[in-house]
Every structure is written in structure tokens, then in C-alpha cells.
Amino acid sequence: MAKKVVLAYSGGLDTSAAIPWLKEKYKVDVIAVTIDVGNERDFTAIKQKALKVGAVKAVVIDAKKAFVDHFIFPALQADAVYEGVYPLATALSRPLMAKLLADIALEEGASFIAHGCTGKGNDQVRFEVSINALAPDIKIIAPAREWGMTRQETIKYAGRHNIPVPVTVASPYSVDENLWGKSIECGVLENPWAEPPEDAYSWTKSAAKAPAKPAYIEIGFTAGVPVSLDGQKLDGVSLLQRLNELAGEHGVGRIDHVENRLVGIKSREIYEAPAAVVLLQAHQALEAMTLAKDQLRFKQKVAMEYADLIYNGLWFTSLHQDLAAYVKSTQRFVTGVVRIKLFKGSSSVVGRKSPYSLYNLGLATYDKGDKFDQSAAVGFIRIWGLPVRNQAQVQLLGQEEGLLSLSKLKAKSKGKRKADK
């Protein structure tokens, strides 16, 4: 009896070509597992395709709700953005997929789990680190890493095996998408000087073709989680789907980024993430209103660590568990509504309110009703500047050299006055 391999199957080029390759190379029965994290595709057709190409069994799992509740929204609460740009859409889906693949492999008694990642990308690390943590006795096969074919050769291999793929040599984009965003790479996009052609985008309109009038939307949050859009309560999946449509229609969410991959190379990546861009912006605006300065500053440091952890495939670690507990604590007062303006490729916060707002109009206003005691500023400034004043008197005023040398500054000033005369 042949051994079994559970293949993470997307229906794309690499995983479709992997089915006959696995059968030829390892003499195994292939169980194709397709996980729906908001890909917006015909999963019935994908399942039929897997069986037609040679899988003995094909399974489709609807994981959208789990993805939103347990991966996307916790990352949103953390403000996790890799290198200040990438909302981590693909990276966030991988630990969930790894968990589901491991579960099915154990249920089926499979000896192997296979994925379609290359040896140059981050996903191989994310999948394998997670699978090894969850099911250490199951071996991993990475066909695209082993077979040594270029992308063009893989397309030809698929053609020889009568495998229909939505990729051609003329249009060789590699695409991954879910509710949190879409990534596009390969082809002309590998040239960082080349402007991405419009055919690379499908979720967003160009700014030139976006509506001439701006749209205003209101997003409601409870404890850092978005719960409503324009006053209508929505589940997480529906809210993201609707927001992707609205923001994408106005050209919001295009990202062009040269990022540092985990494997040590730089890669030009194109992303479309309308909902992610808007929600992160709105969430941060609400945090600015409801968190104290020290909380915000420290949380920004945590956000960077949290983003790196996700990007680097370390979801199933104690560090993640600890950071997640801290982030959850910071969100207990992040409740309110944020108003966003969408216009010609940009989104901007134009209003925010919260029952837990730390903004006090009586202290902030310069008009009637000002409750700020300005006379207290004199003493505050004196105490605040005490260490600066002390160090300047003892160390800085007498030095002849250095960036803060006052003698050089005086000499330059005198020279300038002479020249002016």
C-alpha cells in the first residue's frame, strides 16, 4: 500500500505540477488540501482539478472565520506591519494552514506533508517551522525546492502533463491572496525600477480611474477589534470583504516594497491590501486617543517585534504567547469610532471619538473654557530642564571641540556679521 502525502494545494502552477511529480518521485498517494482564507475562487473547480491531475482525495476547508478571529484581528490589535509597510497577509495565513495540514495528516495517517514553496522564499520556513512544532514525526517534502526547474520550465512541465494553469510565460505573475491582502510577484515586477503594470492589480483601481468624489466611512471598534462599518454591525469576514471593495474602488491599498526576506535576500513585492491599510490606520488613530504616551511608545516597540515574529514563522512560540497577552491588555479601552476619507488612492483619518478618550477639550483648547493652568509651566520647565542646564554648565560651555562647541558657533556668527557688512 502506497504511503500518503498531504499536499497544501492552491490550484496554481507549482502545486498543480507537484501532484504528478510527487507520484513519480516518491510513489505516494496525494491528498490535496485547499484552505479557503478568503481567496475568492471557485473551490469546487479547484477540488475537481486536483482529482483530475492525479490526487486520490481532495479536501476544501473554509477557514475564513478562524483566520480573521485568531490571526488577522490579533495582528491588527498589535499594529503588526513588517518594515513599516507590509501588513503580513500571506505570513499570517501560514501558521493556520500549517495547523490544518498537520491535523489532516495525522487523521489520514500520512507520512508526509508537501507544500509548493521555493527554496528562496519565506513561506518554506513558516510552513516547516510550524509543522515541525505541531507534528514533528511527519516528514516534509518541498517539490519546488527539489525539482530544480525554473518558472518557465515548470510551466512547460505542466503543459506536458496536460495541467491547466492560470500562468503563461508572457504573464508569469505569482499571486497569493486572502482576506487581509494580495501579494503579486515575478515577471516584470522583479525589476525594482519598472513601474508595476495595471494588469498586475485586480483589487484596486488606479488613482487616475478612482471616483472623482471622496467617500467617507465610519469604522466602529470594541477593544481594538473592528465590529461595524457605517453603523452596521458586521462579522469580521463580512467587514473585511466590504472594506476591501470600498477602499479598493477608491484606489487605496497599493503597496510597492523592496523587503528583506528571512532567507537573506531582498525582494521586490507588490501588495494590494485595501482593508488592511484602512483598518491599521483607523486602529492606530483610536489608540492615539485612548492610550497614554508611554503605552503608545512601548507598544510601538512591541508591534515591531510582533511583526518580525509573524514574518519569521515563529507563531507557535512562547514569545508570541507572551506578546499576545500584553497586546490584549493594551486594547481594553480601544473602543470607539473612526471616520476615514477615501479619495484617489489615499485614505486619511478625519475624525475619531471614544467613551474612553484621553483627549480633554478643556485642557487642549486656547479658547473660552481653557482649564489649563499656564502659570504652572514656569516651574515645570525649570524642573524639566534641570539636567540639561546642569550638564551644559559643567561640560559643554567650556569645550573647544565637538558638535556642541559654543566657541565655534560664536566664531561663525561673528564672521557672518562681518560679511554682511
Taking only the tens place, the pLDDT of each residue in 284-324 is: 999 999 999 999 999 999 999 999 999 999 999 999 999 99
Is 375 assigned a catalytic role? no
- Whole-number pLDDT of residue 152: 84
> Residue 353: is its pLDDT beyond 80?
yes
Tell me what percent of the residues of the chain surpass a pLDDT of 90.
78
Q: Structure pTM? A: 0.90
pLDDT tier, 406 (very low <50, low <70, confident <90, very high otherwise):
low
Query: Residues 8, 118: one domain?
Result: yes
What radius of gyration, in Å, describes the C-alpha atoms of the chain?
27
Candidate list 123, 130, 183, 354, residue with the active-site label: 123
Query: Residues 339, 220: one domain?
Result: yes
Whether residue 388 is contained in a domain is answered as yes
Is residue 378 classed as helix, strand or coil in its secondary structure?
A: helix
Candidate list 14, 29, 79, 176, residue with the active-site label: 14
Query: Residues 185, 91: one domain?
Result: no
Q: What is the pLDDT of residues 150-187, one digit of tens each?
A: 878 988 999 999 888 665 555 668 889 999 999 998 88
CATH of the domain at 165: 3.40.50.620
Query: Residues 261, 372: one domain?
Result: no
- Mean pLDDT across 84-107: 97
Candidate list 103, 111, 145, 174, residue with the active-site label: 174
Task: Assign 3-class secondary structure to 175-197.
Answer: EEEECCEEEEECHHHHCCCCCCC
- Whole-number pLDDT of residue 400: 67
Whether residue 316 is contained in a domain is answered as yes
Query: Residues 355, 373: one domain?
Result: no
Is 171 assigned a catalytic role? no
Nearest C-alpha neighbor of 248 from the set 220, 273, 221: 273
Query: Residues 340, 370: one domain?
Result: no
Q: Where are the beta strands (DSSP E) in 186-283?
A: 215-222, 225-229, 232-233, 254-260, 266-272
Query: Residues 132, 198: one domain?
Result: no
Q: What is the pLDDT of residues 101-143, one digit of tens each?
A: 999 999 999 999 999 998 888 999 999 999 999 999 999 999 9
Is 94 assigned a catalytic role? yes
Q: Cα(91)–Cα(311) distance, rounded to whole angstroms? A: 6
Looking at residue 204, its amino acid is: T
Whether residue 416 is contained in a domain is answered as no
Q: Cα(269)–Cα(273) distance, rounded to whole angstroms? A: 13
Q: Cα(154)–Cα(20) distance, rounded to whole angstroms? A: 12
Domain count, the chain: 3
Q: State how far the alpha carbon of 123 is from the alpha carbons of 43, 99, 126, 296, 404, in Å.
A: 22, 14, 5, 31, 49
Whether residue 414 is contained in a domain is answered as no
Query: Residues 99, 231: one domain?
Result: no
Residue range of the domain that includes 12? 4-171
Q: Cα(291)–Cα(99) distance, rounded to whole angstroms? A: 34
Nearest C-alpha neighbor of 287 from the set 224, 348, 230: 224
Whether residue 206 is contained in a domain is answered as yes
Query: Residues 305, 273: one domain?
Result: yes
- Whole-number pLDDT of residue 167: 57
CATH of the domain at 214: 3.90.1260.10
Return the ∠ at Cα 207 (arms to 203 and 213), rounded to 5°.
105
pLDDT tier, 404 (very low <50, low <70, confident <90, very high otherwise):
low
Q: What is the pLDDT of residues 263-288, one digit of tens each?
A: 899 999 999 999 999 999 999 999 99
Is 382 assigned a catalytic role? no
Nearest C-alpha neighbor of 249 from the set 220, 278, 218: 278
Query: Residues 184, 288: one domain?
Result: yes
Candidate list 93, 94, 352, 354, residue with the active-site label: 94
- Answer whether 203's CB lies under 8 Å from 274's CB: yes
Query: Residues 162, 264: one domain?
Result: no
- Whole-number pLDDT of residue 13: 85
